[in-house]
Amino acid sequence: MSIIEMLRHRLANGVRVNELMANHTSWQVGGPADYYVCPVGLVELVAVLSACSETRIPYFVIGNGTNLLVLDGGIRGIVINIGTSFSYIKPAGEKLVVGAGTPMTLLAFTAAEESLSGLEFTVGIPGSLGGAVIMNAGAFGGYIGDKISLVRLVDSEGKLVEKRRGELEFGYRTSNLIGKGVVYEVELELAWGDQMESKRLINNFLTERRRRHPNLPSAGSVFRNLAEQPAGRIIEQAGAKGMRIGGAEVSTQHANFIVNSGKATAADVLNLIKKVQELVKEQFDIELKPEVKIVGEESVG
């Protein structure tokens, strides 16, 4: 039995074949995935990973498609979207039990409403909690990894696994959860706080984001910051602001953003990333490392 037949019997939403990833990424670029599924709940997620294990078909997980460049040739194997059925927040005293599909901005506002402090910095972070946990997303000096007490995931064989605080390791835009399976639920340990103060911080962070970040389609910050200074400042000093290749442009508002100014391809974005790296290397002998995940195959047509 093929994986399509296996999953069509197990998934309420079925299986999409040759699904264009440009429709599922914040850059609005990317070629087709061989198969694309949106499991409804934990039972279906286990079924998908079990089927992948049985058929030895590779899988790739996405949430809101941020921090991600899918190349024009698309993704071989199956793309698993952790979406709305995994978007929930359950208060439990000073903890929140949160589904991996929960948008980060919703998480910030909900914590404030519950008079729980410590997640104000997550407002405006693009994407959902699962990807944020894997990559230890952060902003304004805060990191999501510092708030996690427990991660629940489904491993690559379809087995349920729990990782407690002592088993977790977080670094700058990384964790030891990479490659360990699919995160579906997280427990966050917070502290009681002042609701009005949390909302004030949230509004300040949102104002700052709107001031600094472009509105055109992007994937957030493209390059990792250096210990000494932000990547955007280095790119600006190199004179790369406004640089274009095809429909991709280094934002004139924030140099660490590459925006889709209209009809960009993934190749345009990838070539602009390389061009910025070359320019910065040539001028300052600094090697910028991408923060965005680059996946899939380049188009051969």
> Taking the C-alpha atoms of 132, 137, 143 and 149 in order, what is their torsion angle to the nearest 10 degrees?
20
- CB 107 within 8 Å of CB 187: no
The pLDDT of residue 1 is: 67
Position 247 scores a pLDDT of 98
Q: Give me the pLDDT at residue 2, please.
A: 80
Whether 214-295 and 86-211 are alike in CATH topology: the answer is no
Rounded Cα gap, residues 219 and 27, in angstroms = 6
Which architecture characterizes domain 214-295 according to CATH? Alpha-Beta Complex (3.90)
Active site residue: 173, 209, 224, 233, which one?
173
Indicate the pairing of strand 75-81 with strand 59-62: parallel
| 221 in active site | yes
* Alpha carbons 67 and 71: distance in angstroms, whole number: 13
Q: Does domain 3-84 have CATH number 3.40.50.720?
A: no
Find out whether 217 and 211 touch, Cβ atoms under 8 Å.
no
Catalytic option among 19, 114, 120, 291: 291
User: Check: CATH 3.30.465.10 for 86-211?
Assistant: yes
- Token pair, residue 90, equals 């359950």
Query: Which residues, other chains included, contact 84 with Cβ-Cβ below 8 Å and sequence gap of 6+?
Result: 101
Q: Is 128 a catalytic residue?
A: no
Q: How far apart are CA 294 and CA 175, in angstroms?
A: 18
d(CA 118, CA 111): 8
Tell me the C-alpha distance between 112 and 195, whole Å: 5
Domain edges within the chain: 3-84, 86-211, 214-295
Other C-beta atoms within 10 Å of 263: how many?
A: 11
Q: Tell me the CA distances in angstroms from 89 to 74, 95, 99, 100, 204, one per residue in order.
A: 33, 10, 7, 10, 24
Could you write out the three-class secondary structure of 178-204?
A: CCCCEEEEEEEECEECCHHHHHHHHHH
The pTM assigned to this predicted structure is: 0.94
pLDDT in tens, the chain (301 residues): 688 888 888 899 999 999 999 999 999 999 999 999 999 999 999 999 999 999 999 999 999 999 999 999 999 999 999 999 999 999 999 999 999 999 999 999 999 999 999 999 999 998 899 999 999 999 999 999 999 999 999 999 999 999 999 999 999 999 999 999 999 999 999 999 999 999 999 999 999 999 989 999 999 999 999 988 999 999 999 999 999 999 999 999 999 999 999 999 999 999 999 999 999 999 999 999 999 999 999 976 5
